[in-house]
Structure 1
Amino acid sequence: MELSLLSALNAERQARRAAILVTDIASGAQRLVRQHEIDADPLALPLDRQLRMGKSGMVEVEGASLFLTVQAPHPRIVLTGAVHISQAMAPMAKELDLDLVIIDPRTAFATPERFPGVTLLPEWPDEALPRVGLDGYTAFVALTHDPKIDDPGLTAALRSDCFYVGALGSRKTHGKRLERLSAAGFDEAALARIHAPIGLDIGAVSPAEIALAILAEIVSTLRGPRRKPA
Protein backbone atom coordinates (compact mmCIF):
# COMPACT_ATOMS: atom_id res chain seq x y z
CA MET A 1 0.00 0.00 0.00
CA GLU A 2 1.23 3.48 -0.86
CA LEU A 3 2.22 5.60 2.12
CA SER A 4 -0.27 8.32 1.14
CA LEU A 5 -3.13 5.82 1.20
CA LEU A 6 -2.04 4.42 4.55
CA SER A 7 -1.83 7.94 6.02
CA ALA A 8 -5.28 8.81 4.71
CA LEU A 9 -6.72 5.57 6.06
CA ASN A 10 -5.18 6.19 9.48
CA ALA A 11 -6.57 9.74 9.51
CA GLU A 12 -10.10 8.42 8.92
CA ARG A 13 -9.64 5.77 11.62
CA GLN A 14 -8.49 8.30 14.21
CA ALA A 15 -11.46 10.55 13.40
CA ARG A 16 -13.91 7.60 13.71
CA ARG A 17 -14.99 7.93 10.09
CA ALA A 18 -15.60 5.01 7.76
CA ALA A 19 -13.55 4.40 4.61
CA ILE A 20 -13.13 1.60 2.07
CA LEU A 21 -9.91 0.60 0.32
CA VAL A 22 -10.64 -0.66 -3.19
CA THR A 23 -8.02 -3.07 -4.59
CA ASP A 24 -8.02 -4.30 -8.17
CA ILE A 25 -6.89 -7.93 -7.85
CA ALA A 26 -5.47 -8.13 -11.37
CA SER A 27 -3.41 -4.94 -11.40
CA GLY A 28 -2.91 -4.35 -7.69
CA ALA A 29 -4.08 -0.74 -8.10
CA GLN A 30 -5.63 0.73 -4.99
CA ARG A 31 -7.72 3.75 -4.11
CA LEU A 32 -9.47 4.99 -0.99
CA VAL A 33 -13.15 5.92 -0.85
CA ARG A 34 -14.26 7.90 2.21
CA GLN A 35 -17.82 7.46 3.44
CA HIS A 36 -18.97 10.89 2.26
CA GLU A 37 -17.64 10.08 -1.24
CA ILE A 38 -19.63 6.86 -1.75
CA ASP A 39 -22.72 8.38 -3.38
CA ALA A 40 -20.67 9.85 -6.22
CA ASP A 41 -18.48 6.77 -6.72
CA PRO A 42 -19.03 4.39 -9.68
CA LEU A 43 -19.07 1.52 -7.15
CA ALA A 44 -21.67 3.20 -4.92
CA LEU A 45 -23.96 0.16 -4.58
CA PRO A 46 -21.37 -2.50 -3.65
CA LEU A 47 -19.50 0.00 -1.45
CA ASP A 48 -22.70 0.85 0.41
CA ARG A 49 -23.61 -2.82 0.82
CA GLN A 50 -20.25 -3.80 2.31
CA LEU A 51 -20.20 -0.76 4.58
CA ARG A 52 -23.65 -1.54 5.98
CA MET A 53 -22.50 -5.09 6.73
CA GLY A 54 -19.31 -3.74 8.24
CA LYS A 55 -17.33 -6.47 6.49
CA SER A 56 -14.67 -6.62 3.79
CA GLY A 57 -15.29 -8.75 0.71
CA MET A 58 -14.69 -9.53 -2.95
CA VAL A 59 -16.97 -8.11 -5.64
CA GLU A 60 -17.10 -8.53 -9.43
CA VAL A 61 -17.72 -5.34 -11.42
CA GLU A 62 -17.76 -5.40 -15.23
CA GLY A 63 -15.46 -8.40 -15.32
CA ALA A 64 -13.00 -6.97 -12.79
CA SER A 65 -12.34 -8.61 -9.42
CA LEU A 66 -12.13 -6.03 -6.67
CA PHE A 67 -11.48 -6.52 -2.97
CA LEU A 68 -13.20 -3.98 -0.73
CA THR A 69 -11.43 -3.54 2.58
CA VAL A 70 -13.92 -1.94 4.93
CA GLN A 71 -12.67 0.19 7.80
CA ALA A 72 -15.60 1.19 9.98
CA PRO A 73 -15.53 2.58 13.53
CA HIS A 74 -16.72 0.22 16.24
CA PRO A 75 -20.40 1.07 16.84
CA ARG A 76 -21.34 2.14 20.34
CA ILE A 77 -24.30 3.19 22.44
CA VAL A 78 -24.12 6.19 24.74
CA LEU A 79 -27.07 6.44 27.07
CA THR A 80 -28.28 8.55 29.96
CA GLY A 81 -29.81 6.60 32.80
CA ALA A 82 -28.39 3.89 35.04
CA VAL A 83 -31.83 2.29 35.25
CA HIS A 84 -33.31 -1.21 35.06
CA ILE A 85 -33.59 -1.06 31.27
CA SER A 86 -29.91 -0.19 30.90
CA GLN A 87 -29.04 -3.00 33.32
CA ALA A 88 -30.83 -5.43 31.01
CA MET A 89 -29.31 -3.82 27.94
CA ALA A 90 -25.68 -4.11 29.08
CA PRO A 91 -25.19 -7.89 28.58
CA MET A 92 -27.24 -7.86 25.37
CA ALA A 93 -25.14 -5.05 23.91
CA LYS A 94 -21.99 -6.99 24.75
CA GLU A 95 -23.30 -10.04 22.87
CA LEU A 96 -24.03 -7.78 19.89
CA ASP A 97 -20.48 -6.40 20.03
CA LEU A 98 -21.77 -2.89 20.75
CA ASP A 99 -19.74 -0.78 23.15
CA LEU A 100 -21.88 0.76 25.89
CA VAL A 101 -21.31 3.99 27.82
CA ILE A 102 -23.75 4.89 30.61
CA ILE A 103 -23.95 8.45 31.94
CA ASP A 104 -25.87 9.27 35.11
CA PRO A 105 -24.96 11.81 37.83
CA ARG A 106 -27.09 9.92 40.38
CA THR A 107 -24.36 8.00 42.14
CA ALA A 108 -26.86 5.82 44.00
CA PHE A 109 -27.78 4.28 40.63
CA ALA A 110 -24.52 4.58 38.70
CA THR A 111 -22.50 1.98 40.61
CA PRO A 112 -20.02 -0.65 39.38
CA GLU A 113 -21.96 -3.27 41.33
CA ARG A 114 -25.05 -2.66 39.20
CA PHE A 115 -23.07 -2.35 35.96
CA PRO A 116 -20.03 -4.65 36.09
CA GLY A 117 -17.68 -4.33 33.13
CA VAL A 118 -19.52 -1.32 31.68
CA THR A 119 -18.06 2.14 31.05
CA LEU A 120 -19.93 4.09 33.70
CA LEU A 121 -19.68 7.86 34.06
CA PRO A 122 -21.37 9.25 37.22
CA GLU A 123 -21.45 12.77 35.78
CA TRP A 124 -23.87 15.23 34.21
CA PRO A 125 -24.19 14.71 30.43
CA ASP A 126 -22.98 18.21 29.58
CA GLU A 127 -19.78 17.41 31.47
CA ALA A 128 -19.25 13.89 30.14
CA LEU A 129 -20.36 14.09 26.50
CA PRO A 130 -17.70 16.53 25.23
CA ARG A 131 -15.11 14.04 26.45
CA VAL A 132 -16.96 10.95 25.19
CA GLY A 133 -17.71 12.46 21.77
CA LEU A 134 -20.69 11.65 19.54
CA ASP A 135 -20.30 10.66 15.89
CA GLY A 136 -21.88 8.80 12.99
CA TYR A 137 -21.24 5.42 14.60
CA THR A 138 -22.80 6.34 17.94
CA ALA A 139 -26.38 5.66 19.03
CA PHE A 140 -27.69 7.93 21.78
CA VAL A 141 -30.44 6.74 24.12
CA ALA A 142 -32.18 8.78 26.86
CA LEU A 143 -33.78 6.67 29.60
CA THR A 144 -34.14 8.70 32.81
CA HIS A 145 -37.45 10.60 32.29
CA ASP A 146 -35.62 13.49 33.99
CA PRO A 147 -35.27 16.52 31.65
CA LYS A 148 -32.29 17.79 33.65
CA ILE A 149 -30.39 14.65 32.61
CA ASP A 150 -31.95 13.59 29.31
CA ASP A 151 -32.38 16.97 27.60
CA PRO A 152 -28.68 17.97 27.62
CA GLY A 153 -27.85 14.57 26.16
CA LEU A 154 -30.51 14.86 23.47
CA THR A 155 -29.33 18.37 22.66
CA ALA A 156 -25.78 17.12 22.12
CA ALA A 157 -26.99 14.13 20.10
CA LEU A 158 -29.16 16.23 17.78
CA ARG A 159 -26.22 18.54 17.14
CA SER A 160 -24.07 15.55 16.17
CA ASP A 161 -24.07 12.90 13.43
CA CYS A 162 -25.37 10.14 15.74
CA PHE A 163 -26.90 7.44 13.55
CA TYR A 164 -29.66 6.84 16.11
CA VAL A 165 -31.30 9.04 18.73
CA GLY A 166 -33.98 7.57 20.97
CA ALA A 167 -35.83 8.62 24.10
CA LEU A 168 -38.00 6.67 26.54
CA GLY A 169 -41.41 8.00 27.49
CA SER A 170 -45.09 8.14 26.67
CA ARG A 171 -46.45 10.23 23.81
CA LYS A 172 -47.47 12.88 26.34
CA THR A 173 -43.97 12.91 27.85
CA HIS A 174 -42.43 13.11 24.41
CA GLY A 175 -44.75 15.95 23.43
CA LYS A 176 -43.49 18.02 26.35
CA ARG A 177 -39.93 17.03 25.43
CA LEU A 178 -40.43 18.29 21.89
CA GLU A 179 -41.77 21.60 23.23
CA ARG A 180 -38.62 22.07 25.33
CA LEU A 181 -36.27 21.16 22.50
CA SER A 182 -38.17 23.35 20.05
CA ALA A 183 -37.81 26.26 22.47
CA ALA A 184 -34.08 25.48 22.53
CA GLY A 185 -33.92 26.11 18.78
CA PHE A 186 -34.39 22.71 17.10
CA ASP A 187 -36.60 22.59 14.02
CA GLU A 188 -39.03 19.84 13.00
CA ALA A 189 -36.47 18.02 10.86
CA ALA A 190 -34.06 17.76 13.78
CA LEU A 191 -36.76 16.66 16.24
CA ALA A 192 -37.97 14.02 13.79
CA ARG A 193 -34.66 12.22 14.29
CA ILE A 194 -35.74 11.18 17.80
CA HIS A 195 -37.17 7.66 17.94
CA ALA A 196 -40.09 7.96 20.36
CA PRO A 197 -41.80 5.84 21.46
CA ILE A 198 -38.41 4.19 21.57
CA GLY A 199 -37.69 0.72 20.20
CA LEU A 200 -39.38 -1.61 17.74
CA ASP A 201 -43.06 -2.23 18.44
CA ILE A 202 -42.92 -5.75 19.87
CA GLY A 203 -45.35 -5.15 22.73
CA ALA A 204 -42.47 -4.88 25.21
CA VAL A 205 -43.46 -4.61 28.87
CA SER A 206 -40.56 -5.65 31.11
CA PRO A 207 -37.20 -3.83 31.31
CA ALA A 208 -35.54 -6.71 29.43
CA GLU A 209 -38.15 -6.64 26.66
CA ILE A 210 -37.83 -2.86 26.32
CA ALA A 211 -34.03 -3.21 26.17
CA LEU A 212 -34.44 -5.84 23.44
CA ALA A 213 -36.78 -3.58 21.44
CA ILE A 214 -34.34 -0.66 21.69
CA LEU A 215 -31.34 -2.74 20.64
CA ALA A 216 -33.29 -4.24 17.73
CA GLU A 217 -34.16 -0.75 16.47
CA ILE A 218 -30.55 0.37 16.85
CA VAL A 219 -29.22 -2.61 14.88
CA SER A 220 -31.90 -2.12 12.21
CA THR A 221 -30.85 1.52 11.83
CA LEU A 222 -27.15 0.64 11.78
CA ARG A 223 -27.46 -2.14 9.19
CA GLY A 224 -30.29 -0.65 7.14
CA PRO A 225 -30.02 1.82 4.25
CA ARG A 226 -27.06 4.10 4.79
CA ARG A 227 -27.72 7.29 6.69
CA LYS A 228 -27.17 10.57 4.89
CA PRO A 229 -25.28 13.18 6.94
CA ALA A 230 -27.61 15.73 8.52
Structure 2
Amino acid sequence: MLYYKDPETEWLSLHKTEFSKISQDDSDILPTLKLSYDCLTSNLKHCFSYCSLFPKDHYINVENLIKLWMAQGFIKASDANQSLEDMGREYFMELYWRSFFQEVEEDEFGNIYYCKMHDLMHDLALKVAGAKCAMLPSDKKDIDRRARHLSFNFSLKSSQQIPISVSQTANRIRTVLLPSQQRERYALRESLQLCDAFFSNFKFLRALDLHDSGLTTLSNSIGKLRHLRYLDLSGTKIKALPNSITKL
Protein backbone atom coordinates (compact mmCIF):
# COMPACT_ATOMS: atom_id res chain seq x y z
CA MET A 1 0.00 0.00 0.00
CA LEU A 2 2.89 2.34 0.80
CA TYR A 3 5.05 1.35 -2.15
CA TYR A 4 4.20 4.36 -4.33
CA LYS A 5 3.89 6.84 -1.46
CA ASP A 6 6.53 9.27 -0.23
CA PRO A 7 8.17 8.00 3.00
CA GLU A 8 8.88 11.53 4.27
CA THR A 9 5.30 12.79 4.14
CA GLU A 10 2.62 10.25 3.30
CA TRP A 11 3.96 7.43 5.46
CA LEU A 12 3.98 9.64 8.55
CA SER A 13 0.53 10.99 7.77
CA LEU A 14 -0.85 7.49 7.40
CA HIS A 15 0.75 6.45 10.69
CA LYS A 16 -0.90 9.32 12.53
CA THR A 17 -4.33 9.00 10.93
CA GLU A 18 -5.22 5.51 9.68
CA PHE A 19 -3.13 3.39 12.03
CA SER A 20 -4.37 5.29 15.05
CA LYS A 21 -7.91 4.12 14.24
CA ILE A 22 -7.00 0.44 14.25
CA SER A 23 -7.70 -1.71 17.28
CA GLN A 24 -4.41 -2.96 18.75
CA ASP A 25 -5.70 -6.48 19.30
CA ASP A 26 -2.81 -8.83 18.59
CA SER A 27 -5.21 -11.68 17.83
CA ASP A 28 -6.97 -9.84 14.98
CA ILE A 29 -4.95 -8.73 11.98
CA LEU A 30 -7.91 -8.15 9.63
CA PRO A 31 -8.37 -4.45 10.51
CA THR A 32 -4.74 -3.86 9.52
CA LEU A 33 -5.04 -5.85 6.30
CA LYS A 34 -8.21 -3.97 5.46
CA LEU A 35 -6.14 -0.78 5.09
CA SER A 36 -4.75 -2.22 1.86
CA TYR A 37 -8.26 -2.99 0.68
CA ASP A 38 -9.53 0.50 1.57
CA CYS A 39 -6.88 2.06 -0.70
CA LEU A 40 -8.05 0.14 -3.76
CA THR A 41 -10.19 1.69 -6.49
CA SER A 42 -13.85 0.65 -6.52
CA ASN A 43 -13.33 -1.72 -9.47
CA LEU A 44 -10.42 -3.47 -7.76
CA LYS A 45 -12.50 -3.77 -4.58
CA HIS A 46 -15.20 -5.59 -6.54
CA CYS A 47 -12.62 -7.88 -8.16
CA PHE A 48 -11.03 -8.78 -4.84
CA SER A 49 -14.26 -9.41 -2.92
CA TYR A 50 -15.51 -11.59 -5.80
CA CYS A 51 -12.64 -14.00 -5.02
CA SER A 52 -14.41 -14.95 -1.79
CA LEU A 53 -16.42 -17.35 -3.99
CA PHE A 54 -13.42 -19.69 -4.15
CA PRO A 55 -12.65 -22.06 -1.24
CA LYS A 56 -9.55 -21.56 0.86
CA ASP A 57 -6.37 -23.06 -0.59
CA HIS A 58 -8.01 -23.26 -4.01
CA TYR A 59 -5.85 -22.83 -7.11
CA ILE A 60 -7.51 -20.05 -9.10
CA ASN A 61 -7.23 -20.07 -12.89
CA VAL A 62 -6.23 -16.47 -13.64
CA GLU A 63 -7.56 -16.43 -17.20
CA ASN A 64 -10.97 -17.69 -16.06
CA LEU A 65 -10.98 -15.24 -13.15
CA ILE A 66 -10.43 -12.31 -15.52
CA LYS A 67 -13.26 -13.54 -17.74
CA LEU A 68 -15.55 -13.74 -14.71
CA TRP A 69 -14.63 -10.18 -13.76
CA MET A 70 -15.44 -9.12 -17.32
CA ALA A 71 -18.81 -10.88 -17.21
CA GLN A 72 -19.78 -8.90 -14.11
CA GLY A 73 -18.71 -5.57 -15.59
CA PHE A 74 -15.94 -4.99 -13.05
CA ILE A 75 -13.30 -4.16 -15.68
CA LYS A 76 -13.24 -0.75 -17.33
CA ALA A 77 -10.80 -0.16 -20.17
CA SER A 78 -8.82 3.06 -19.77
CA ASP A 79 -8.79 3.74 -23.52
CA ALA A 80 -10.61 2.50 -26.61
CA ASN A 81 -7.57 0.65 -27.97
CA GLN A 82 -7.11 -1.55 -24.89
CA SER A 83 -8.93 -4.87 -24.68
CA LEU A 84 -10.82 -5.84 -21.54
CA GLU A 85 -8.61 -8.94 -21.26
CA ASP A 86 -5.46 -6.81 -21.14
CA MET A 87 -7.02 -4.45 -18.64
CA GLY A 88 -8.14 -7.41 -16.55
CA ARG A 89 -4.56 -8.70 -16.52
CA GLU A 90 -3.47 -5.29 -15.22
CA TYR A 91 -6.11 -5.51 -12.49
CA PHE A 92 -4.83 -8.92 -11.48
CA MET A 93 -1.19 -7.83 -11.43
CA GLU A 94 -2.10 -4.79 -9.32
CA LEU A 95 -3.71 -7.06 -6.73
CA TYR A 96 -0.82 -9.51 -6.93
CA TRP A 97 1.79 -6.78 -6.36
CA ARG A 98 -0.20 -5.71 -3.31
CA SER A 99 -0.03 -9.31 -1.97
CA PHE A 100 -3.73 -10.11 -2.34
CA PHE A 101 -2.63 -13.23 -4.26
CA GLN A 102 0.32 -15.56 -3.74
CA GLU A 103 1.80 -18.95 -4.70
CA VAL A 104 1.59 -18.16 -8.38
CA GLU A 105 2.46 -20.56 -11.18
CA GLU A 106 3.95 -19.16 -14.39
CA ASP A 107 4.31 -20.43 -17.94
CA GLU A 108 7.58 -20.38 -19.89
CA PHE A 109 6.99 -16.72 -20.81
CA GLY A 110 6.53 -15.59 -17.21
CA ASN A 111 2.75 -15.18 -17.47
CA ILE A 112 0.89 -16.14 -14.30
CA TYR A 113 -1.83 -18.71 -14.98
CA TYR A 114 -2.61 -20.02 -11.47
CA CYS A 115 -2.58 -18.41 -8.04
CA LYS A 116 -3.84 -18.82 -4.50
CA MET A 117 -5.06 -16.51 -1.76
CA HIS A 118 -3.57 -16.56 1.73
CA ASP A 119 -6.11 -17.73 4.31
CA LEU A 120 -6.10 -14.32 6.00
CA MET A 121 -6.70 -12.57 2.70
CA HIS A 122 -9.54 -15.00 2.03
CA ASP A 123 -11.02 -14.08 5.43
CA LEU A 124 -10.75 -10.42 4.44
CA ALA A 125 -12.47 -11.11 1.11
CA LEU A 126 -15.35 -12.81 2.94
CA LYS A 127 -15.65 -9.88 5.31
CA VAL A 128 -15.74 -7.14 2.68
CA ALA A 129 -17.99 -9.16 0.33
CA GLY A 130 -20.67 -9.42 3.02
CA ALA A 131 -23.96 -10.96 1.94
CA LYS A 132 -23.45 -10.30 -1.79
CA CYS A 133 -21.13 -13.29 -2.22
CA ALA A 134 -22.06 -16.64 -0.71
CA MET A 135 -20.21 -19.95 -0.76
CA LEU A 136 -22.61 -22.72 0.20
CA PRO A 137 -21.51 -25.93 1.91
CA SER A 138 -23.48 -29.09 1.17
CA ASP A 139 -25.48 -28.85 4.43
CA LYS A 140 -26.72 -25.26 4.04
CA LYS A 141 -30.44 -25.04 3.40
CA ASP A 142 -31.07 -21.34 2.87
CA ILE A 143 -29.43 -18.22 1.50
CA ASP A 144 -29.49 -14.49 2.17
CA ARG A 145 -31.89 -12.63 -0.13
CA ARG A 146 -29.20 -10.01 -0.78
CA ALA A 147 -26.86 -12.57 -2.37
CA ARG A 148 -25.81 -11.86 -5.95
CA HIS A 149 -22.96 -14.32 -6.47
CA LEU A 150 -23.01 -17.98 -5.45
CA SER A 151 -20.50 -20.80 -5.37
CA PHE A 152 -21.10 -24.33 -4.16
CA ASN A 153 -18.32 -25.78 -2.06
CA PHE A 154 -19.05 -29.40 -2.88
CA SER A 155 -19.02 -31.70 -5.87
CA LEU A 156 -22.51 -32.13 -7.30
CA LYS A 157 -23.91 -35.59 -6.76
CA SER A 158 -27.43 -36.91 -6.54
CA SER A 159 -27.02 -36.95 -2.73
CA GLN A 160 -25.92 -33.30 -2.59
CA GLN A 161 -28.46 -31.17 -4.38
CA ILE A 162 -28.50 -27.40 -4.54
CA PRO A 163 -31.08 -26.21 -1.97
CA ILE A 164 -34.47 -25.37 -3.46
CA SER A 165 -34.50 -22.17 -1.40
CA VAL A 166 -31.71 -20.80 -3.60
CA SER A 167 -34.05 -20.47 -6.57
CA GLN A 168 -36.94 -19.34 -4.38
CA THR A 169 -35.27 -16.55 -2.41
CA ALA A 170 -32.32 -15.37 -4.52
CA ASN A 171 -33.94 -14.37 -7.80
CA ARG A 172 -31.26 -11.79 -8.60
CA ILE A 173 -28.28 -14.14 -8.76
CA ARG A 174 -25.56 -12.99 -11.18
CA THR A 175 -23.04 -15.83 -10.70
CA VAL A 176 -23.17 -19.59 -10.14
CA LEU A 177 -19.78 -21.27 -9.72
CA LEU A 178 -18.77 -24.86 -8.97
CA PRO A 179 -15.12 -24.38 -7.92
CA SER A 180 -14.98 -27.71 -6.04
CA GLN A 181 -16.59 -29.73 -8.80
CA GLN A 182 -14.63 -32.88 -9.67
CA ARG A 183 -15.05 -35.05 -12.71
CA GLU A 184 -17.56 -37.59 -11.44
CA ARG A 185 -20.17 -39.84 -12.95
CA TYR A 186 -23.62 -39.36 -11.52
CA ALA A 187 -27.17 -39.57 -12.75
CA LEU A 188 -27.74 -37.67 -15.98
CA ARG A 189 -31.29 -37.01 -14.87
CA GLU A 190 -29.96 -35.04 -11.89
CA SER A 191 -27.73 -32.97 -14.18
CA LEU A 192 -30.60 -32.08 -16.50
CA GLN A 193 -32.85 -31.15 -13.58
CA LEU A 194 -30.11 -28.94 -12.20
CA CYS A 195 -29.69 -27.07 -15.49
CA ASP A 196 -33.43 -26.62 -15.99
CA ALA A 197 -33.64 -25.13 -12.49
CA PHE A 198 -30.89 -22.64 -13.34
CA PHE A 199 -32.38 -21.66 -16.69
CA SER A 200 -35.91 -21.26 -15.31
CA ASN A 201 -35.13 -19.32 -12.11
CA PHE A 202 -31.88 -17.42 -12.55
CA LYS A 203 -32.94 -15.05 -15.32
CA PHE A 204 -30.25 -12.47 -14.46
CA LEU A 205 -27.27 -14.83 -14.56
CA ARG A 206 -24.14 -13.37 -16.09
CA ALA A 207 -21.78 -16.27 -15.29
CA LEU A 208 -22.67 -19.98 -15.17
CA ASP A 209 -20.15 -22.71 -14.41
CA LEU A 210 -21.21 -26.25 -15.37
CA HIS A 211 -17.76 -27.78 -15.84
CA ASP A 212 -17.43 -31.55 -15.31
CA SER A 213 -21.15 -31.70 -14.55
CA GLY A 214 -21.83 -34.92 -16.46
CA LEU A 215 -23.98 -33.22 -19.09
CA THR A 216 -24.26 -34.75 -22.57
CA THR A 217 -26.83 -32.26 -23.89
CA LEU A 218 -27.65 -28.64 -23.14
CA SER A 219 -31.28 -27.69 -22.65
CA ASN A 220 -32.87 -25.42 -25.24
CA SER A 221 -34.01 -23.22 -22.36
CA ILE A 222 -30.44 -21.83 -22.14
CA GLY A 223 -31.81 -19.10 -24.43
CA LYS A 224 -33.74 -17.67 -21.46
CA LEU A 225 -30.51 -16.41 -19.89
CA ARG A 226 -30.38 -13.20 -21.92
CA HIS A 227 -27.75 -11.61 -19.66
CA LEU A 228 -25.31 -14.54 -19.74
CA ARG A 229 -21.74 -13.54 -20.63
CA TYR A 230 -19.70 -16.46 -19.28
CA LEU A 231 -20.56 -20.15 -19.72
CA ASP A 232 -18.17 -22.96 -18.75
CA LEU A 233 -19.03 -26.36 -20.23
CA SER A 234 -15.49 -27.78 -20.09
CA GLY A 235 -15.20 -31.44 -19.13
CA THR A 236 -18.76 -32.23 -20.25
CA LYS A 237 -19.66 -34.50 -23.15
CA ILE A 238 -21.87 -32.02 -24.95
CA LYS A 239 -21.33 -32.43 -28.71
CA ALA A 240 -23.61 -29.69 -30.02
CA LEU A 241 -25.17 -26.51 -28.67
CA PRO A 242 -28.92 -25.84 -29.05
CA ASN A 243 -30.09 -23.22 -31.53
CA SER A 244 -31.39 -21.06 -28.68
CA ILE A 245 -27.77 -20.25 -27.77
CA THR A 246 -27.92 -17.57 -30.48
CA LYS A 247 -30.44 -15.62 -28.38
CA LEU A 248 -27.82 -14.84 -25.76
TM-score bracket, shorter-length normalisation:
0.3 to 0.5
The alignment's TM-score, normalised by the length of structure 1, stands at 0.33
Q: Going by fraction, where is strand more abundant, 1 or 2?
A: 1
The alignment's TM-score, normalised by the length of structure 2, stands at 0.31
